[in-house]
């Protein structure tokens, strides 16, 4: 579901914002007394954290330089 190699996730602030928003949402749901939604959103946040920070990202593909023409 989350491709950590997508250019959208290159910026650190975007990778940090997703789990932070999930954590804030979990806190709101717990405050509202909705434990089931807190568990669901907590699972999404844990998954996002794993995919964006823990799972190894593939290094960029090295493309060979064009050979000089003689």
The CA dihedral of 8, 9, 14, 15, to the nearest 10 degrees, is 160
Helices (H) and strands (E) in the chain, counts: 2, 0
pLDDT at position 68, please? 64
CA angle centred on 30, ends 27 and 34, rounded to 5°: 135
Q: How confident is the model at residue 38, as a pLDDT?
A: 97
Q: What is the pLDDT along the chain (70 residues), one digit of tens a residue?
A: 888 888 898 899 999 999 999 999 999 999 999 999 999 999 999 999 999 999 877 776 777 666 666 6
Find the domain containing 43 and state its range: 11-54
pTM for the full predicted model: 0.75
Please indicate, yes or no, if residue 28 is contained in any of the structural domains.
Answer: yes
In this structure, is residue 68 part of a structural domain? no
Count of domains observed in the chain: 1
Q: Does 63 map to a domain?
A: no
């Amino acid at each position: 579901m989350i491709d950590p190699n997508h250019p959208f996730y290159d910026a650190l602030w975007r990778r940090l914002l997703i789990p932070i928003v999930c954590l804030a949402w979990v806190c709101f749901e717990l405050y509202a007394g909705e434990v089931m939604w807190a568990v669901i959103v907590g699972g999404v946040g844990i998954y996002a954290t794993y995919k964006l920070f823990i799972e190894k990202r593939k290094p960029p593909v090295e493309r060979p330089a064009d050979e000089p023409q003689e």
